[in-house]
Amino acid sequence: MREITYAQAVREALAEEMRRDPRVFLLGEDIGVYGGAFGVTLGLVEEFGEDRVMDTPLSEAAIIGAAVGAAVVGMRPVAEVQFSDFLTIGADQLVNQAAKMRYMFGGKAEVPMVVRTPAGSGTGAAAQHSQSLETWFMHIPGLKVVAPATPHDAKGLLKAAIRDNNPVVVFEHKLLYKTKGPVPEDEYTVPIGKAAVRREGRDVTVVATSVMVPRSLQAAERLADEGISAEVIDLRSLRPLDAETVIASVCKTGRAVVVHEANKFAGFGGEIVGTIVESEAFDFLDAPVLRLAGKDVPIPYNPRLEKAAVPQEDDIVEACRRLMRESRRVRVGGMA
C-alpha cells in the first residue's frame, strides 16, 4: 500500500469530501494561498476556489461562530483553528452554541460541523502554542472529540467527522504531520467511537492517543526484549469513548497505564482509570492503574524542559516495568 504523510492524509480527506459534497467548505486563518500554518490545505484553494476555501480574520470566535451558523442552515463547514490553544477564544461558540443546539431545539436543529486543530508540544512553540486541551471539550455533552495517531486514521476519522451530523473536534498533532504511514487509495472512513488495538500483549495494557501511540509502540518493542508483553490501545476517539475495548484488554492483562500528553491533573487519564475501575475489569486488576501524563506546568520553551514536561518512550517503559515489578506474572511452569 502506498505511504503518505499525516498532513497529506488530512488534505486528501478534505479534498475528497469537498468533491463528494458541495456543502462542504473550509474556513480558517491563512488556509488559502498560504496553505495553513502547517501546510495542510496547500493547493486546495486552487481546486475549489476562494468561496470554498475561505481565509478569515484572526478571530476564532468568528471562525467557529460562522461555522455554527453555516452548519445550522445546512452547510457542512470544516473550520481550522491554527493552534488548538486558540480554541479557548472560540469556546463560547463551540460549547454554548454548537454543542447545545440539537438538545435545545428538541432535535429539530443539527450542527454538522468540524473543527480541525493542531495540538501538542515538541515544536519549540512555547506555552501558548503547545497545549493539549482535549479534556476541555471531552467534558461537553454534545461534542465529539477525536485524536488520530496515524495517517490512515487522520484521513478516515476526518471523513467520518465531516459526514457526522454533530459537531466534531479533531485534534491533529503537530509532530505527526510529517509522519508517514499506509493509506488506502480506495474510499474508506474510520468510525468515530472505536478504538484500535495497535499491538496485542498479555501483561500490561497501555492506553494512548495521538503522538503517545507511536511512543507506546516503541516502548512496547523494548519491553518485549525484556519479556514484558504490552498491549497498546489507540483510543482514536476520546468521546464517545470505546470503553469496551479498554475493559476487555485490562481484563486480559490485569494491569494498565494510561498515557497522554496533557498534564495529569483533571486530564482524561482520570476518566479512563475511572472507567476501568468501575467496570468488571476491577476484579482482574493486579496492580494500581497508572496515569502517565504531562507535568502540571505550562509547556516550557527550553527544548530539554519541553521534552521533560511530557511523557517520552523511556517513561512508558519505566511505568510498565514498575507495574510488572509490583505484581509478577504468573510464572509458567510452577513456582520456585
Partner 1 sequence: MATQVTMPKLGMTMEEGTVTKWFKAEGEPVQEGEPLLSVLTDKVDIEVEAPASGVLRKILVGPDTTVPINTPIAIIAAADEDISALLPAAGSPPQGPAESTAAGGKAPDGSGLAEILQAEAGAPEERAQTGGGGRVRATPVARRMARELGLDLAAVPGSGPRGRVTRADVEEYAARTGLGTAGVQKASKTPSAESSAEPAAVAGGASSASPATAPGGVSPVPRRVPISPMRRAIAQRMTKSAFTAPHVTLTTEADVTELVRVRSALNEADRNRGGDGISYVDLFVRIAARALADHPYLNARLEGDEIVLEPEAHIGIAVAVPGGLLVPVIRRAGSLGIQAVARKRRRLVEAARRGELSPDEMRGGTFTISNLGAYGIDAFTPIINAPETAILGLGRIVEKPVIRDGQVCARSMMVLSLSFDHRVVDGVPAAEFLRQIAELSQRPELLLL
Q: Which residue numbers are catalytic?
A: 129
Residue 82 neighbours by CB under 8 Å, 6+ apart: 28, 29, 30, 36, 37, 117, 118
Q: Closest approach of Cβ 333 to partner 1, in Å?
A: 5
Using CA atoms, how far apart are residues 333 and 336, in angstroms rounded to an integer?
9
Q: Can residue 331 be called a binding residue for partner 1 (CB under 8 A)?
A: yes
Q: Which triple of cell numbers denotes residue 209?
A: 492517543
Q: Can residue 222 be called a binding residue for partner 1 (CB under 8 A)?
A: no
Annotate 23-54 with DSSP letters as a single string: TEEEEETT-STT--TTSTTTTHHHHH-TTTEE
From residue 282 to residue 301, the character string flagging contacts with partner 1 as x (rule: CB under 8 A) and all else as - is xxxxxx--------------
Given 182, 202, 240, 278, the residue binding partner 1 (CB under 8 A): 202
Q: Can residue 1 be called a binding residue for partner 1 (CB under 8 A)?
A: no
Given 224, 251, 308, 312, the residue binding partner 1 (CB under 8 A): 251
With contacts defined by CB under 8 A, name the span among 12-20, 135-143, 176-184, 250-258 that binds partner 1: 250-258
Q: Can residue 326 be called a binding residue for partner 1 (CB under 8 A)?
A: yes
For residue 10, how many other CB atoms are within 10 A of its CB?
Answer: 26
> How far out from the chain centre does Cα 29 lie?
22
With contacts defined by CB under 8 A, name the span among 34-42, 132-140, 170-178, 327-335 that binds partner 1: 327-335
Q: Closest approach of Cβ 245 to partner 1, in Å?
A: 10
Strands 196-199 and 237-239: unpaired
Q: Can residue 329 be called a binding residue for partner 1 (CB under 8 A)?
A: yes
Using CA atoms, how far apart are residues 61 and 41, in angstroms rounded to an integer?
21
CB 260 within 8 A of CB 294: yes
Q: Which triple of cell numbers denotes residue 315?
A: 517513561
CB 177 within 8 A of CB 80: no
Q: Can residue 254 be called a binding residue for partner 1 (CB under 8 A)?
A: yes
Using CA atoms, how far apart are residues 77 and 64, in angstroms rounded to an integer?
9
Q: Can residue 330 be called a binding residue for partner 1 (CB under 8 A)?
A: yes
CB 22 within 8 A of CB 48: no
From residue 137 to residue 176, the character string flagging contacts with partner 1 as x (rule: CB under 8 A) and all else as - is ----------------------------------------
Report the residue number, 155 or 255, with the smaller CB distance to partner 1: 255
Q: Which triple of cell numbers denotes residue 118?
A: 493542531
Q: Can residue 280 be called a binding residue for partner 1 (CB under 8 A)?
A: yes
Instruction: Give the total of residues touching partner 1 (CB under 8 A).
Output: 23
Q: Closest approach of Cβ 89 to partner 1, in Å?
A: 44
Site for partner 1, rule CB under 8 A? 202, 248-249, 251-252, 254, 280, 282-287, 326-335
